[in-house]
Amino acid sequence: MIELKGLNGESIVFDGTTVAKFRHNGLDEAARNPVSSYREVQVRHKPGKRGKEGRYDVMVVLASFMSISVAEEAKGPLDELVAALEATRA
């Protein structure tokens, strides 16, 4: 299971068969889609400016769109999630 924790208490969880988005620190499941509906993932880096930390804006496209913003420190889990989703295409 891969969990990508984002800013504002959101997270995206990939358990091998489904991808789910949670809000409010895991208390509210916003969406859940089977991994078979996976189409693409888009990642945009926004560098930090004027004392603000940098972040990555991530959009996972399945049967529904799931978007999340994560801190730069979460690059490792982000790369792991992208690699796992791309591996499901093979």
3-state secondary structure of 10: coil
Contact 38, 88 (CB under 8 A): yes
Q: What is the pLDDT of residues 66-87, one digit of tens each?
A: 999 999 999 999 999 999 999 9
User: In angstroms, rounded to a whole number, what is the distance separating the alpha carbons of residues 39 and 59?
Assistant: 11
Span 26-54, average pLDDT: 92
**pLDDT for 41 beyond 90:** yes
Q: What is the CA radius of gyration of the chain?
A: 13
Report the CATH number of the 2-87 domain: 2.30.29
Non-local (6+) Cβ contacts of 33 within 8 A are 18, 19, 20, 62, 63, 64, 66
pTM of the model: 0.87
Look at residue 21 in the predicted model and tell me its pLDDT: 96
**pLDDT for 90 beyond 90:** no
| Cα dihedral 30, 69, 12, 19 sign | positive
Look at residue 48 in the predicted model and tell me its pLDDT: 86
Residue boundaries of the structural domains of the chain: 2-87
